[in-house]
Amino acid sequence: MMKEETLEWLAARSYTYLLFQRLLGTEPSAELFEAIEVTVAQEAFALVFGEGSAALQQSETMIHHIQTARDSVASWRSEYRRLFEGPAELPAPPWESVYTSNKRLLMQPTTLDVRNAYRAHGFIPECYPRVPDDHIALELDFLATLAARAQEAYDQGDKEYCQKLLESSHTFIADHVGIWVNDFAQDVATKGHSDYYEGVTHTLAAFIAADAKALERARSLA
């Protein structure tokens, strides 16, 4: 990729990870949806997924929900709590360890592995230690942080550090979020009552897969 194309791709990654972090780490509200720059989101998804792809069409449906969110915020907030917060048993637990342990338990060895990955980059979640480190929103926040740092490093001409951050991102996807995001999205689809959250999580899963492939190709930045 040429420098301008690389910067656009890095910016799209940074924006998209942060968008998903907010959508899955924050209860729905009018303020949340009003803060989303729809045109920027559409441009980022088009760059990540490619024109005409099924994933891009899926992202457009998700954005349409966001654009018409005002009349649905209350019901989506209720569904967010039912799916991801409780207090009843959660239909779609938002923690990696639940999906990677045979007994679907929290605070398994994978949680410590995630914490160590964070610490290697000086990343300490704002809600630490109240929320287990392997919550989907925290994992996305970590990837958003790495993406923002990679964008800044490349913009400042530090391609070596940028490459290191991209490699760390690829490793984290391969070892962690990429392992369980599809199962998480499937739980939301089969046990949820909202087309919106089904769309968010399936679009997220498609984005994670697309980003992993892009990171494989980005072994040497122009």
N- to C-terminal Cα separation, the chain: 6
Burial of 197 (0-12, 13-18, 19+ CB in 10 A): buried
Q: What is the pLDDT of residue 106?
A: 59
pTM (two decimals): 0.94
CATH number of 3-217: 1.10.3480.10
Burial of 34 (0-12, 13-18, 19+ CB in 10 A): exposed
pLDDT grade for 111, boundaries at 50, 70 and 90: confident
Domain ranges of the chain: 3-217
pLDDT digits (tens, 9 = 90+) for 49-94: 998 899 999 999 999 999 888 788 999 999 999 999 988 899 999 9
- Is 102's pLDDT higher than 80? no
- Is 221's pLDDT higher than 80? no
Burial of 91 (0-12, 13-18, 19+ CB in 10 A): middle
pLDDT digits (tens, 9 = 90+) for 121-133: 999 876 655 678 9
* 98 HSE (CA, 13 A, CB side): 17
110, 134 Cβ separation under 8 angstroms: yes
pLDDT grade for 110, boundaries at 50, 70 and 90: confident
